Structure 1
């Protein structure tokens, strides 16, 4: 194989460019594989570290109105953005959901090219008691508004421990060893560059190799951004990006939700303090279709939690079967195809396979077995504050409040007039609807998460055919004039 070091970095930061050797078919319609350096592979692996809300924010910032539809995720994000601030416990709680940080921020900052709009680390200390032995520190936006020790404002920025920054900056590799190179197929299956020619032939088929020809391409910021987008909506992201001039944007493959029994290995890890949530579905009796759902703030907060879960964390929760095929392949390559020796450290592979959420994100209404990143700080000089939630850990949303949720996860405060308008618009008579009550636990939550990524009828695909529905009392089943 060719020396992957030729896939060198021309520049750094947002101006970085990767020169890659690509094998395509003779018709120039399909990328067979790419030979990538550790720098390029690190960027692909960084996709797994990004919270879903961060991905939506980055794509919308870059593409604007041309941002691709990723299931119902964009509607959920936009609904929270449009929700008035008084519905949130604090303004910072809303910001945490819309601009979630990654537990890999240190690593992301070391990438040769960062398309993720990585925010600076900001730590605060109290301007009143900051010179005492014990300092109160917060890592949140406006959540550190007041010191929990003395009540004064905490607006002085402090730094992480020096050794943390030094560790992040050491070496050239970020996730993988800097001397490693990789073979990456069109669907993002990734192998260390020791597969050999016969291994490649077995993977892509002799017929394709007989018609293969090499080309050189240069990928910069816009192309890597396109690759992030394509990996979420296409089964052939490399072809879509590298051969975009011959394929065209309309050739993106629509990914659909594939109902199947979810694996049970994480059911015993369910949050022991969580309780099943109630969602009431309003269904058209004549067709069995969901008209809308209504639920309390705990269920909406559960939906909101999707935004701070990293893509690799979603893969872990769903056992590598999210129906986002390219990301599934990238994740399973990390778990099964790339041995520990090719990663920068023995712990790095495990961190990518089951990434933590950022410190301080998890609320009491989560039901998934999530873990948060442990911050490194000098405990003899600082104490940590979870003042993002007014009384320590708690909720993002205020209550009590009932919300209306459409099938595509558009969320709004419940309003009778909007419900009547919704029924009239769909030409549904009030006598043709019934209300059914659904219990939402871990199994149902995983199904909703999975459908959110690829379906615009999330609640129907995830719930209507997969759980038993408890019929309500007769007097509450139908709407009366």
Structure 2
């Protein structure tokens, strides 16, 4: 599948060499929200492919190479190495569609004993039969409280009714003229001539860089798109 990309409009302070904020669409906002739902094992696995992961990568490899002899019989290493996403498959952002992200399934035995398991072949505590029958999984986004299951919801987390403002530190809010002016005042911008609009592409590669940078610093957009650390504390190394 081709790398899906979205456009970001950056407002850059050329003198300070920092990104003040980005104007972003629903797709980018959905991606940021989805990042919060990723299990640590999934984050390590995604970054490990690009050799971008730190010490957690060593822990991941240790578990991966640990002999099953040392694992409790009721435990499975795949829970840690390949954790399932808590988000329903239709809610996955397009920016991650190129990656193998496991969505959640549950299994039950052939009798209605009201037990479910996240992995098949677990023994039912009631009848001691293996739980191999896949049960339908419904989450809040696919069946919002008080709404019929026949209602088709828009994909993702946020509505596409506004443009979103994303700060350099990934703080997100709906875009408005007032919020833009307030933000410029907070950065003590005196000369608008020092400001530059820059349109960039954001795809899977940039998504992985954002994921890594968001764990390391507070000037994420500057680090990704300007290639420098900026003057802020906690800058990316």
TM interval, short-chain normalised: 0.7 to 0.9
Match of 1:120 among 93, 103, 117: 103
Assess if the C-alpha contact under 8 Å between 2:206 and 2:224 holds in 1: yes
Q: Which has the higher contact order (CA 8 A, sep 6+)?
A: 2
Aligned partner of residue 239 in structure 1, secondary structure: helix
1:153 and 2:130 matched: yes
Output the CA distance in 1 between the equivalents of 2:90 and 2:230.
28
Shift of 1:108: 7.2
Shift of 1:206: 0.8
Match of 2:67 among 80, 84, 88: 84
Aligned partner of residue 213 in structure 1, secondary structure: strand
Q: What 5-or-longer segments of structure 1 have no aligned partner?
A: 1-12, 256-323, 327-481
Shift of 1:174: 2.7
Q: Residues 427-446 of structure 1 correspond to what in structure 2 (within 5 A)?
A: none
Aligned partner of residue 122 in structure 2, secondary structure: coil
Q: State the structure with more CA Rg.
A: 1
1:176 and 2:158 matched: yes
TM-score (norm 2): 0.78
CA distance 1:120–1:140, shift in 2 (3 Å): same
Assess if the C-alpha contact under 8 Å between 2:82 and 2:102 holds in 1: no
Aligned partner of residue 113 in structure 1, secondary structure: helix
Shift of 1:136: 5.3
CA distance 1:91–1:229, shift in 2 (3 Å): farther
Structure 1 segments of 4+ aligned residues over 6 angstroms from their partners: none
1:47 and 2:35 matched: yes
Q: Name 1:267's counterpart in structure 2.
A: none
Assess if the C-alpha contact under 8 Å between 2:42 and 2:83 holds in 1: yes
Shift of 1:188: 1.6
Aligned partner of residue 157 in structure 1, secondary structure: strand
Match of 2:171 among 186, 189, 192: 189
Output the CA distance in 1 between the equivalents of 2:53 and 2:191.
30
TM-score (norm 1): 0.41
**1:93-144: CA deviation from partner (whole Å, max 9, x where unpaired):** 32212223343x1277342322664213333233xxx1x4x245533235x3
Q: How many residues align?
A: 228
Q: Residues 194-343 of structure 1 correspond to what in structure 2 (within 5 A)?
A: 194=176, 195-207=178-190, 209-244=192-227, 247=228
Q: Name 1:300's counterpart in structure 2.
A: none
Aligned partner of residue 125 in structure 2, secondary structure: coil
Assess if the C-alpha contact under 8 Å between 2:22 and 2:166 holds in 1: yes
Output the CA distance in 2 between the equivalents of 1:183 and 1:73.
31
Assess if the C-alpha contact under 8 Å between 2:108 and 2:117 holds in 1: no
Assess if the C-alpha contact under 8 Å between 1:109 and 1:118 holds in 2: no
**1:390-438: CA deviation from partner (whole Å, max 9, x where unpaired):** xxxxxxxxxxxxxxxxxxxxxxxxxxxxxxxxxxxxxxxxxxxxxxxxx
Output the CA distance in 1 between the equivalents of 2:198 and 2:81.
40
